[in-house]
Amino acid sequence: MASILHGRFFRIIFTIFSLIIIAVIAKNIYIKQVQIKALAKQNEQLDKQIAHISNKIVEIKRNINIAEADPHIIEHRAKNDLMMVDKNESIIIFHDNSK
């Protein structure tokens, strides 16, 4: 009789231990899946940033090629964008007070 109780007790302990092991493994698998989804989302965002930066690089290279082809472009951009002037030029700025 004692060996039967001992066998049942062993099976119950073994079953509980097995369930705990299975639960820990399942939890780890779930955590890994959540991490994979987060990394996939981050990867997608980084791919978008790379594409955006690549487009900017292409645009900058195109502007460099245009500037190298026509030296007057640099002077034109300096005057319009940076308000630079030659030695014999002046800039007059008008303020619009109607707003």
Tell me the whole-structure pTM to 2 decimals.
0.54
CA pair distance 85, 78, nearest whole angstrom? 8
Any idea where the domains of the chain sit in the sequence?
A: 2-82
DSSP state of 87: T
Buried b (16+ CB within 10 A) or exposed e, 45-80: eeeeeeeeeeeeeeeeeeeeeeeeeeeeeeeeeeee
Q: Kindly state the DSSP code that residue 71 receives in the 8-state scheme.
A: H
Q: Measure the CA–CA gap between 56 and 96, rounded to whole angstroms.
A: 34
Whether pLDDT at 42 is above 70: yes
Question: What is the rounded CA–CA span in Å between residue 42 and residue 24?
Answer: 27
User: Which pLDDT does position 14 carry in this prediction?
Assistant: 94
**Cα 99 to the chain's mean position, in Å?**
41
pLDDT tens digits for range 10-24: 899 999 999 999 999
Q: What H or E segment, with its residue span, contains residue 60?
A: helix 2-69
